[in-house]
Amino acid sequence: MVDSQIIISNLLKSYSSRAEELTVLRGISFEVARGEIICLLGASGSGKTTTLNLLAGIDKPTAGKIYYDGKDINEWTTDQLFEYRLKEIGFIFQEFYLLEHLNALENVMVPVILQGESEEIAQDIALQLLNQVDLGRKALNLPQELSSGEKQRVCVARAIANNPSVLIADEPTGTLDSKTGDGIMSLLLHLAKKNKMAMIYTTHDPYFTKMASRIIVLQKGVIVEHNPEDFADIGYDKSKFEFLFKGENNE
């Protein structure tokens, strides 16, 4: 077996809401090697966030397995899952999820304090991280006093605060203009390489596929793997990616 950090095996996820049952993932399997950069593509509603939530232990699959370092995370207790999310996974959420009543510094301090560090040490670490993402001068700003790009950088600092081994970024450039988006992607790649983290990110922008070592496309609940070159060949032309931009459930 290759040195896979994460093995996703035959993952199935259904949601039941009111009378309806919606199967989002119909048995997907892939592996994530240490330090690998994976781009997850798919139309809106194809199950990207669902997949990321499952592998971060935020949600449970209907069927199938997720192994982290050879261990089946579905067998873990709530406390073990909490530790896993806190120490191994750095998650940058599509909707930011910053605590609105805490300033940037305090938001970054939260995971460090949860890890058991003193407030003083957490503050030092958080400030260093905010400096790393070039936001030290806005450390005392509340989220509502930050631009989208700045909020995203606070999320990046918070995600890497406990030196995770896997960085998950759900549309990190989604709400940003292309220049700011480019800056965030470069920052994430730089941090992932520097800290030897595997990174899994989603995007709706073909341009941001070229940074990945592997591309996984989710379509109708199953996945197809691609080389980044497949995408380069068609020149990152958005029209060639039309299937990725249609709503999956509106077809």
Ligand X SMILES: Nc1ncnc2c1ncn2[C@@H]1O[C@H](COP(=O)(O)OP(=O)(O)OP(=O)(O)O)[C@@H](O)[C@H]1O
- Which residues contribute to the site for ligand X (CB under 6 A)? 15, 17, 22, 24, 42, 44-50, 94, 249
Q: Residue 46, interface with Mg ion (CB under 5 A)?
A: no
The Cα angle at residue 138 between residues 135 and 141, in degrees rounded to 5: 135
Report, in Å, the least distance between residue 23 CB and ligand X. Answer: 9
- Give the other-Cβ count within 10 Å of 109's Cβ: 24
Specify the residue for token string 């593509």. Answer: 41
Report, in Å, the least distance between residue 22 CB and ligand X. Answer: 6
Q: Residue 53, interface with Mg ion (CB under 5 A)?
A: no
DSSP 6: E
Report, in Å, the least distance between residue 170 CB and ligand X. Answer: 7
Closer CB to Mg ion, 48 or 214, in the complex: 48
Closer CB to ligand X, 15 or 82, in the complex: 15
Report, in Å, the least distance between residue 45 CB and ligand X. Answer: 4
Report, in Å, the least distance between residue 46 CB and ligand X. Answer: 4
Stretch that binds Mg ion, among 45-53, 57-65, 143-151, 213-221 (CB under 5 A): 45-53
Closer CB to ligand X, 122 or 176, in the complex: 176
Closer CB to ligand X, 122 or 218, in the complex: 218
Q: Which long-range contacts (CB under 8 A, 24 or more apart) does 65-68 make?
A: 65/7, 65/8, 65/9, 65/10, 65/11, 66/6, 66/7, 66/8, 66/9, 66/11, 67/4, 67/6, 67/7, 67/9, 68/5, 68/6
Q: Residue 49, interface with Mg ion (CB under 5 A)?
A: yes
- Name the binder of 17 from Mg ion, ligand X, none, CB < 5-8 A by kind: ligand X
Touching Mg ion, residues 74-103 (CB under 5 A):
94
Is 159 within 8 Å of 90 (Cβ atoms)? Answer: yes
